[in-house]
Amino acid sequence: MSEPQSQQEIEQEIERTREHLGQTVEELAAKADVKARAKGKAAEVKAKAQGKAAEVKATAQEKVTEVRARTQAKTTELSGPASQNQLVQQNWPLAVAAAGVVMIGLALVLRRRARR
């Protein structure tokens, strides 16, 4: 009677070893799957880039709002004594700066989208 029990124990041990080996093979296959790991990393980088692009866009929008407010205040201040031509000449650097900020923000957003 001890032999069938011993054989049964051996079979159980073989089954446990097979299960363990199967898990080990699956773990190694996951590590060797470079394509899946690359896709995961790409998704991570994409999410980070989208977050940064949104941050830059928000900052640019804040700057545009600030520049508009300053321009409006200056326009109101100078509307009496200054002619339209003088007003444009005085606010030219401010308009260029605002356009630069907007263009940088747009370039960053488009660059991030092009990498998709």
> Does residue 97 contact residue 67 with C-beta atoms inside 8 Å?
yes
Q: Say what the pTM is.
A: 0.40
Residue 79: per-residue pLDDT: 66
Residue 4 phi/psi, 5-degree rounding, is: -60, -35
Residue 48: per-residue pLDDT: 92
CA 20 to chain centre: 39
Q: How far apart are CA 15 and CA 3, in angstroms?
A: 18
Q: How far apart are CA 95 and CA 61, in angstroms?
A: 14
pLDDT digits (tens, 9 = 90+) for 93-116: 777 888 888 999 889 888 888 887
pLDDT mean for each 10 residues of the chain (116 residues):
69 92 87 83 91 91 90 76 61 78 89 82
Q: How far apart are CA 109 and CA 58, in angstroms?
A: 11
Residue 34: per-residue pLDDT: 82
